[in-house]
């Protein structure tokens, strides 16, 4: 018997909560359905924090179901309070529409777009939210919500418990997201919403609204909040978010993010963020005694999915040259400076500031004092050193390193 969507969903570690597990599994086993996940459009790209949801969309396609990608052109104007301690920065319509076009390109990399039966359906909830008459909305939709119940959901309750202000605008978000599910049920016969665990209240309200208005049974499914073994939020690093766009993060830096996964997280991340079969992953975990080989496998698989296999192999080769051969890899981040700057000489503090390895000269001095800064693999001891042409190789390249993992190439042009 072929494995069902929900069974693989559980085995890979995507499962957190379901409104009616038996009923949903039965529905998806007997028919191909449409299911949706909503995404905010607050930036020109999604980041790794959204990758689990994207992998859920891929899994839907794998099992023959059709994903609906709801891009929140309307709700982004409001802001989702779920998991937030404060109101988000407000964006205008022009900024949001620009973000939507850019984000769509990310999905087109990860998802199949040519098979008409499973290709993603892109919708923008601004198309219906913009047409709502407020009085009619309160009469037809608002009457199905009680403030008592809304106050019990985590997205509202936690904010109030922390005594953080919650605007009336944000309080309405729950009703708007429930209305999205209702609209998708009407327009596309969508019977499943998938979301992060913090979306449970919003999803349940949508199901309840569909039941009251359409007399139909819809379903909800949530994924767990992923944190690393160190307790940090998935995709958040000292350098910032791990973006799913090469314009915002190089393929090499993306590869390095996965390569630097904690030992305890590698097998879990292979299950969650790669297309390797469960049997393959189990086999690798049993037979590989070198955890670094599994990390490279994870980095290659994850990077190939987004940037292609050539970029993954190039990133691996660069890492090999940088960390093992102590040479300069082609994929390392590069900063170009004009020849006249080097001809006249430049103080090392001024040069390092250009690399963004540090934010101030004081920070750079501390790096040097702690033997943490290297030029071409040699520890830098003199904060007054003047960099000249002699510090560059025959290809006009020089490598500046901070610690074991941060490397920048300075290239003379």
**Alpha carbon of 225 to those of 49, 85, 127, 139: distances in Å?**
9, 16, 30, 35
pTM of the model: 0.79
Please tell me whether residue 57 adopts helix, strand or coil conformation: helix
Q: Are 104 and 157 in contact (CB under 8 A)?
A: no
Give the three-state DSSP class for 335: strand
Question: What span, in angstroms and rounded, lies between the C-alpha atoms of 232 and 240?
Answer: 12
Paired tokens of 89? 């920065």
Which residues are 47's β-sheet partners? 243
Other C-beta atoms closer than 10 Å to the C-beta of 405 total 12
Q: What is the pLDDT of residue 236?
A: 65
118's tokens: 């499973």
Give the count of beta carbons closer than 10 Å to the beta carbon of residue 33: 19
Cβ–Cβ < 8 Å for 384, 347: yes
Q: Which CATH class is domain 334-412?
A: alpha beta
Using DSSP's 3-state secondary structure scheme, residue 71 falls into strand
Domain ranges of the chain: 5-223, 250-324, 334-412
DSSP characters over 226-270 = PB-TTSPBTTEETTEE-BS-TTTS-HHHHHHHHHT--GGGHHHHH
Secondary structure of 31-70 as H, E, C letters: CCCEEEEEECCCCCCCEHHHHHHHHHHHHHHHCCCEEEEE
- Mean pLDDT, consecutive 10-residue segments, the chain of 413 residues? 86 97 95 96 94 98 98 82 55 92 97 96 95 86 84 76 73 88 97 95 94 96 88 71 92 94 95 96 88 95 97 92 66 83 87 85 90 88 89 87 83 86
81-132 pLDDT, tens per residue? 555 545 556 788 999 999 999 999 999 999 999 999 999 999 999 999 999 9
Fold of 5-223: Rossmann fold (3.40.50)
Q: 96 CB contacts (<8 Å, ≥6 apart)? A: 41, 73, 76, 77, 126
- CA-CA distances (angstroms) from residue 327 to 320, 382, 402, 413? 9, 23, 15, 20
- Percent above pLDDT 70 for the chain: 93
pLDDT at 243: 95
pLDDT for the residue 326? 59
**Residues whose CB is less than 8 angstroms from the CB of residue 247 and which lie 6 or more positions away in sequence, other chains included:** 44, 45
What are the start-end ranges of the E strands in 45-90?
A: 66-71
- Which residues pair with residue 335 across a beta bridge? 410
User: In this predicted structure, what is the pLDDT of residue 245?
Assistant: 94
Distance between start and end Cα atoms, the chain: 62
**pLDDT confidence of residue 58:** 98
Beta strands in 102-259 (DSSP E): 121-124, 190-196, 219-223, 236-237, 240-241
Domain 250-324 sits in CATH at: 1.10.240.10
User: d(Cα 61, Cα 71) in Å, to the nearest integer?
Assistant: 19
3-state secondary structure of 371: coil
Using DSSP, state whether 355 is helix, strand or coil: helix
**pLDDT value at position 156?**
78
The token pair that represents 184 in the structure block: 């998708």
Question: What's the pLDDT at 85?
Answer: 47
């Amino acid at each position: 018997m072929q494995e069902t969507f929900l069974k693989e969903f559980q085995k890979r570690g995507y499962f957190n909560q379901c409104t009616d597990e038996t009923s949903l599994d039965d529905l998806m086993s007997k028919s191909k359905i449409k299911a949706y996940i909503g995404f905010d459009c607050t930036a020109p790209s999604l980041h790794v924090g959204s990758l689990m949801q994207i992998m859920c969309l891929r899994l839907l396609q794998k099992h023959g179901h059709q994903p609906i990608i709801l891009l929140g052109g309307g709700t982004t104007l409001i802001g989702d309070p779920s998991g937030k301690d404060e109101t988000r920065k407000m964006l205008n319509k022009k900024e949001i529409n620009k973000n939507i076009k850019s984000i769509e390109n990310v999905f087109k990399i990860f998802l199949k777009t040519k098979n008409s039966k499973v290709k993603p359906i892109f919708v923008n909830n601004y198309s219906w939210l913009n047409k709502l008459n407020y009085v009619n909305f309160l009469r037809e939709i608002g009457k199905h919500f009680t403030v008592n119940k809304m106050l019990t959901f985590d997205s509202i309750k936690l904010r109030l418990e922390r005594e953080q202000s919650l605007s009336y605008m944000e309080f309405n978000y729950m009703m708007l997201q429930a209305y999205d599910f209702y609209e998708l049920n009407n327009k596309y016969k969508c019977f499943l919403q998938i979301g992060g665990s913090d979306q449970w209240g919003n999803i349940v309200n949508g199901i309840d609204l569909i039941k009251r208005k359409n007399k139909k049974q819809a379903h909800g499914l949530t994924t767990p909040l992923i944190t690393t073994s160190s307790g940090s939020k998935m995709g958040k690093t000292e350098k910032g978010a791990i973006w799913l766009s090469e314009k915002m993060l190089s393929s090499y830096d993306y590869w390095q993010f996965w390569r630097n996964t904690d030992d305890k997280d590698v097998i879990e991340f292979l299950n969650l963020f790669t297309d390797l079969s469960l049997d393959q992953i189990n086999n690798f975990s049993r037979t590989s005694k070198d955890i670094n080989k599994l990390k490279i496998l994870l980095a290659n698989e994850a990077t190939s999915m987004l940037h292609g296999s050539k970029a993954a192999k190039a990133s691996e080769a660069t890492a090999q040259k940088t960390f093992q051969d102590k040479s300069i890899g082609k994929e390392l981040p590069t900063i170009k400076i004009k020849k006249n700057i080097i001809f006249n000489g430049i103080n090392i503090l001024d040069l390092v500031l250009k690399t963004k390895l540090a934010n101030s000269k004081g920070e750079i001095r501390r790096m040097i004092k702690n033997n943490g800064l290297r030029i071409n693999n040699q520890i830098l001891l003199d904060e007054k050193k003047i960099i000249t042409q002699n510090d560059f190789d025959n290809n006009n390249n020089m490598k500046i390193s901070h610690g074991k993992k941060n490397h920048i190439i300075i290239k003379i042009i």
